[in-house]
Structure 1
Amino acid sequence: MNQRVAIVTGAGSGIGAAPAIRLSRDGLAVAVLDKDAEAGERTVREITEGGGFTLAVPADVTDPARIGTAVAQVAAQLGPPTVLINNAGLTSDRPFAENNFR
């Protein structure tokens, strides 16, 4: 495949879904990564309905082993990724200093 490949994390909804859809409209193959597999599939359906080439990959970006597996899956099925939108994140209603980040 000679198509550019993008990985968008947190692409199951909102701010992550928007660039995934846009990149697809711009002709890139898009890997939709989200820890919520159902949300990722919704974004994939929207992309494919628009004629885009895409792949849903359930992945929790806090798990380094899963990320390696996800990138390998994207490369095998879509081609080597050339674009990364690292959108996945988390929210907390606690003061920043009280969060327990890994």
Structure 2
Amino acid sequence: MFVLANFLMAVARVLDIVLTLYMYVIIAQAVLSWVSPDPYNPIVRFIHNLTEPVLYRVRRLLPTVFGGFDFSPIVVILGIVFLQAFVVNSLFMMAQRMG
């Protein structure tokens, strides 16, 4: 049973790190939207390609543009925080109870 507990602990840690990194990429995308970066810059294109599928879905579902301000990064960040608080912590608790 301790093997499954260690596996769940590892999955929770990796998921937490991935969600945190994605949150930083969303923040970088929001900051880039305030300036006019070179669209041919490979870093700008990477960030755009990584974040736009999620941000597009949020923009399509919610009317998040008010007065030229896009609230979709805030909604995505809140979703990430929810996933970290609920899913990651649930995995940690499950692993602790098994081990």
Is the shorter-chain TM-score for this pair beyond 0.5, marking a shared fold?
no
The higher relative CO (CA closer than 8 Å, separation ≥ 6) is in 2
Kindly name which structure, 1 or 2, has the bigger radius of gyration based on alpha carbons.
Answer: 2
Please give the TM-score of this superposition, normalised by the length of structure 1: 0.23
Greater share of strand residues, 1 or 2?
A: 1
